[in-house]
Amino acid sequence: MQYLIHTLGLKEFPSLLREIPEVPKTLNYRGRLPEQGMRLLAVVGSRAYSNYGKQVVQYLISGLQGYNIGIVSGLALGIDSLAHQSALQNNLYTLAIPGSGIAENVIYPYRHRPLARNILDAGGGLLSEFDPHFTATKWSFTQRNRIMAGISHATLVIEATEKSGTLITARMTTDYNRELLVVPGDIFSGNSAGPHQFLKLGATPVTHPHDILHALGINPETKEPLQINTLDLTDIEKKVLKSLRSDSDTDSIIRETQLQTQEINSILIQLELQGLLISENGTYKVVH
């Protein structure tokens, strides 16, 4: 399918974007723009992400499935692309704002052109203030960051070095009086320096999807229950899920399933990353 490029004038901009300093004169988009009333979360972070960062993206975004939330990011290497992919996997709307134009032949980075196509095919959108055929430059990424921060109700930072461009988006978020959310990290990792810097300045720490929902003004109880799809689970994973009571700790799961501790711990992590259960105070609950 061919996705035409459309142009928006100032009066047609999303309302939040009209509030920022240096409002763009026009915007170009392909695909579908976020619907009115949708809460938008910008997700930004390191290009050189760790396995921890990848797990965090998958865990947090999977926990937003079923809510009227859209994921905004920059189509860049690293956390950005993981955020878009996780949104697609969890049937969430996602909007990509690249540091280039949005014509097929200039989308940057080149290797993410298939991802851009997947976003469009899934009902998401591409958005840019640059000419559709503009080629990305060093300064264009900083300029587009203000669009990401400006259009979103909150920004989530997942891994960033002390001098990362991600921190520019974080600072813009606070300048625009939007909610800045930060995932704490390993104190020995350079990828944690940026997030921890903003935690010290009062950013909201995020350790669970509900933290994001609260920041966006969404009651976790206001959506329809999720239907757990067990088709893709292994027999052992199904066995563990079936063994869970309202509040099951690891020992009770081991007794119920007769599996080894190491195997149980690995399975529980995988089920939690898939959004099928949550852990609270050492106990596990199936997501209903």
- In tens, the pLDDT along 38-85 reads 999 999 999 989 999 999 999 999 999 999 999 999 999 999 999 999
Q: Which domain does 171 fall in, by range? A: 6-215
The CATH number of whichever domain residue 256 belongs to comes to: 1.10.10.10
Q: Which of 155, 186, 215 is the last residue of a domain?
A: 215
Q: What is the pLDDT of residue 169?
A: 92
Mean pLDDT of 14-27: 92
Q: Are residues 161 and 93 in the same domain?
A: yes
Number of structural domains in the chain: 2
The CATH number of whichever domain residue 142 belongs to comes to: 3.40.50.450
Q: Are residues 209 and 242 in the same domain?
A: no
Is 250 within 8 Å of 277 (Cβ atoms)?
no
Q: What is the pLDDT of residue 227?
A: 43
Q: Which of 153, 187, 215 is the last residue of a domain?
A: 215
pLDDT in tens, 212-249: 999 999 988 655 434 444 546 788 888 887 787 656 78
Query: Is residue 122 in some structural domain?
Result: yes
Q: How confident is the model at residue 258 (pLDDT cuts 50, 70, 90)?
A: confident
Query: Is residue 82 in some structural domain?
Result: yes
Query: Is residue 21 in some structural domain?
Result: yes
Q: Are residues 46 and 157 in the same domain?
A: yes
**Alpha helices by DSSP H, the chain:** 51-62, 79-89, 113-121, 138-151, 166-175, 193-200, 209-215, 235-243, 250-257, 261-273
Q: Are residues 197 and 279 in the same domain?
A: no
Match 């529980």 to its residue by tokens.
268
Q: Are residues 45 and 169 in the same domain?
A: yes
CA distances from 63 to 10, 55, 241 (A): 34, 12, 17
**CA–CA distance, 205 with 157 (Å, rounded to integer):** 10
Query: Is residue 19 in some structural domain?
Result: yes
SS3 of 12-81: HCCHHHHHCCCCCCEEEEEECCCCCCCEEEEEEECCCCCHHHHHHHHHHHHCCCCCCEEEEECCCCCHHH
Q: Are residues 15 and 111 in the same domain?
A: yes
| pTM (predicted TM-score) | 0.77
Q: Are residues 12 and 66 in the same domain?
A: yes
Is 254 within 8 Å of 266 (Cβ atoms)?
no
Q: Are residues 139 and 90 in the same domain?
A: yes
What token pair was written down for 128?
Answer: 């840019």
Q: What is the pLDDT of residue 223?
A: 55
Q: How confident is the model at residue 125 (pLDDT cuts 50, 70, 90)?
A: very high
Average pLDDT for the chain: 88
Query: Is residue 220 in some structural domain?
Result: no
Query: Is residue 222 in some structural domain?
Result: no
Is 195 within 8 Å of 181 (Cβ atoms)?
no
Q: Are residues 108 and 245 in the same domain?
A: no
Query: Is residue 230 in some structural domain?
Result: no
Q: Are residues 276 and 190 in the same domain?
A: no
**CA–CA distance, 120 with 156 (Å, rounded to integer):** 23
Q: Are residues 201 and 282 in the same domain?
A: no
